[in-house]
Homo-oligomer: A and B are copies of this chain.
Amino acid sequence: MSAPSLDFWFDFASTYSYPAAARIGPLAAEAGIQVRFRPFLLGPIFKAQGWDNSPFNLYPAKGRNMWRDLERLCEELKLPFHQPETFPQNSLMPARVALVGLAQGWGEAFCVEVFRAQFGSSRRIDEPATLAAILSRLGTDVQGALASAQSDDNKARLRAETEEAQRLGIFGAPSFVTAGGELFWGNDGLAQPLRWAKRGQ
């Protein structure tokens, strides 16, 4: 029997996807679950819900609490935290690069590093220099990866992933989907999707 699996859906602009991306690898390994990183774009999904901005900007009380909550979470998880000046950032470019990396074996490490750069070191993830620095640290062919990210095939792949997220009923990030189609939303409940994945549901 193959290991139970869990799809981890996230947008690089999503704050709570940062601790989720940092934790899910070790937690899933411990639980014997195979995780698939699935970057997508929340923008079109938020637009369909009538939002043209992050709900954390549209609802200030919610937004203030989210930043403080993220700071507390990072403290408990011993993750670096530094609130970026710009929020949300355009996540199109890192999402395209991540898809290339996930097909080539360096995708998960890249994703964790992009989140850490943005929310741990307050860097711009929509600037090629930030992505190039991460790619270089990971020992990849930097120019090759950036070129592949901008290919028509890869652009179409990201659009298809976003459409698949919408089809699955995903309305925010991070989200987790088990092999049985159970959808869980939010970093807080990470333990619950792992339990359901383990039961094969």
Contacts and interface: CB of A to CB of B under 8 A. Distances in A.
Interface of A: 49, 59, 61-62, 64-65, 68-69, 72-73, 76, 169-172, 182-186, 188-189, 192, 195-196
Contacts of A65: 169, 171, 183, 185
A171 B72 contact: no
B188 A76 contact: no
Contacts of A184: 69
B171 A69 contact: no
A61 B169 contact: yes
Q: How many copies does the complex hold?
A: 2
A69 B185 contact: yes
A183 B72 contact: no
Contacts of A72: 182, 192, 196
A25 B171 CA distance: 32
Most B CB contacts (10 A, CB to CB) among A64, A68, A69, A195 go to A69
A183 to B, nearest CB: 6
Contacts of A188: 186, 188-189
A19 to B, nearest CB: 12
A9 to B, nearest CB: 13
27 contacts: A49-B59, A49-B61, A59-B171, A61-B169, A61-B170, A61-B171, A62-B171, A62-B172, A62-B185, A64-B169, A65-B169, A65-B171, A65-B183, A65-B185, A68-B182, A68-B183, A69-B184, A69-B185, A72-B182, A72-B192, A72-B196, A73-B192, A76-B192, A76-B195, A186-B186, A188-B188, A188-B189
A187 B166 CA distance: 25
A30 to B, nearest CB: 18
A182 to B, nearest CB: 7
